[in-house]
Amino acid sequence: MLASNVNFPIVTPQYTGEYVKRSNEITENIVNALRINNQLTVNAINAATENFRTFNRTIDSVTEFNSSAAKAWNSFVTAQQQQFPYKQ
């Protein structure tokens, strides 16, 4: 009895083809959006990886520079102490 009171829309054959066409377009757009999103994610991960590599190289360079500067300063101080010994 309940089913007899419900009106279901009937899709006529002239609209069926258009409905299928639009449905396929929407599906294709969704698939393309997901493909683009996946590629964007891969590109972002690759960029982050390269940024970490660059950052690590920068840290290595700064560490090497500081080490060289400390060695040069130590060499300079040692030479000065040898040239002018401390007298009490």
For the record, the structure tokens of 18 come out as: 């258009």
Q: Using CA atoms, how far apart are residues 81 and 87, in angstroms rounded to an integer?
A: 11
Backbone angles phi, psi at 33, to 5 degrees: -65, -40
Using pLDDT thresholds of 50, 70 and 90, give the confidence band for residue 79: confident
Is residue 13 predicted with pLDDT exceeding 80?
no
The per-residue pLDDT for range 34-69, each reduced to its tens digit, is: 999 999 999 999 999 999 999 999 999 999 999 999
The position carrying tokens 């299928």 is: 20
Sign of the dihedral through C-alpha 14, 18, 21, 22: negative
pTM value is: 0.59
Contact 11, 19 (CB under 8 A): yes
Is residue 1 predicted with pLDDT exceeding 50?
no
**Domain residue limits, the chain:** 35-65
